[in-house]
Amino acid sequence: MGQSTSWTPPEVAPGAELRACLPVEGWRAAMGVIAARHGLDTASLEPFAGGSDVVWACGDRVVKLTDPRCSWQLAAEADWLERLAGRTSLATPRLIDMGELEGWPYLVLSLLPGRALGEFWPALPYDERRRLAADIGNFIAELHGVDPSDAPRTWPDFWTDCRERAPVRDLGDPRLPDWARPLAEEVGSFLEAEGPLDAQRHVCLHTELLDQHLFARERAGRVELCGVLDFADGRVGPAEYDFPPLADFVFRGEGDLLRTCLEAYGRPGVELNHGLARRLLAWGLSHRFGRLQRMLAAVAPSRPRTLDELATLLFGLD
C-alpha cells in the first residue's frame, strides 16, 4: 500500500501536551508524509518518548514537528544549529531541511550518536560524575566563547517577562508540599534583594542544559560526552543563566559537582561562594522553565526553611 500524502492535524488546547493530542498512529501518519517528502525510509520511523515537540527517528535522521504557535522556536533552533555547527567539541544535530505540513513547521535533522546523559548518570560512580561535570563546564565555556555579535537579540523583553512571572509562578503549584508554601511566598522578596542579575557579559546560551539534552556514549570503558541537542530556546544573554538547570536536572543537589563544573568553566575559586549560590538560585527561580518544586526535589529529603538555605543545599558553594 502506498504512503498517504495527506494528514489532518489535531486541535491543540493551550497548555496541552502536544504528543497526547493524537494517538501514536496519527503522528506516524504525519511523519510518514514528511519522510516520504524527503526521501527517507518510512519503515524505520520510531517515536522518541520525551520532549515537548513530536520527535521521531527515521534511520539516521530525526524529524521534529511542532504546533504552528511554536513555529518561532523551530526557526530559532534552525538558526542556532547552523550558527554553532562545528564550533564546539560536542556534536550538534546538522540541519538537513525544514518545511511545513498542513501549516505545522518541522525540521529534518541528523541523528546524534549516543544516548541521553540521564540514561547513564544514576549508575556512574562519583569520580566519573565529577569528570563529566568538568567536561560539561568545558563545553559551556566553548559555547559561551562563540561570537554572538550577529545573533538575534531578544533578551530584554524575554527577561522582563521572566521576572514578572517569577514571584507568583510557584504560589499555585499543586505539587508544592504544604511545608514549602512559605518558600514560594518568599520568592518576590528574595529576587528583589538579589537585584537585576543581568548586568553582565552576554553570550550564546543554550538555556536548557538538561540530562535529556546532553548526549554521551561509552568509549574505551568509560562514558564520554558526545553531543548536545535542542537549541529551540537558544538566545544571547547573561552567562549565568545557563547554570541553574544543571543543578536541577543533572547534578541534583550534588553541589560539589557544580563547583567542579564552574571551575572547569573558568570561574575563579574565590567567586564560588554563598553570594554566587544565592544569585544562581535567583536565576533559577526566574528561569523560564524554573520550578521551586523541582529544586526542592533535588535536595530531598532535606527541607530548607528559607530560600537562603535552599541556595546552600542546591548549589553547594559555601
* pTM of the full structure: 0.92
- Residue 3's pLDDT band (cuts 50, 70, 90): low
Confidence at residue 4, expressed as pLDDT on a 0 to 100 scale = 54
Tell me the CB-side half-sphere exposure of residue 108, using CA atoms within 13 A. 22
Residue 273: enclosing H or E segment and its boundaries? none
**Per DSSP, what are the bridge partners of residue 228?**
214
Mean pLDDT across 235-247: 97
- Residue 5's pLDDT band (cuts 50, 70, 90): low
Taking a C-beta distance cutoff of 8 angstroms, is the pair 110, 60 a contact? yes
Q: What is the pLDDT of residues 116-136, one digit of tens each?
A: 999 999 999 999 999 999 999
CA distance 207 to 234: 6
pLDDT(38) > 50: yes
Q: What is the pLDDT of residues 248-282, one digit of tens each?
A: 999 998 989 999 999 999 999 989 999 999 999 99
Q: Quick count: other Cβ atoms within 10 Å of Cβ 101?
A: 17
3-state helix, strand, coil in the chain (%, to 5): 50, 15, 35
Taking a C-beta distance cutoff of 8 angstroms, is the pair 93, 81 a contact? yes
Taking a C-beta distance cutoff of 8 angstroms, is the pair 65, 101 a contact? yes
Confidence at residue 1, expressed as pLDDT on a 0 to 100 scale = 43
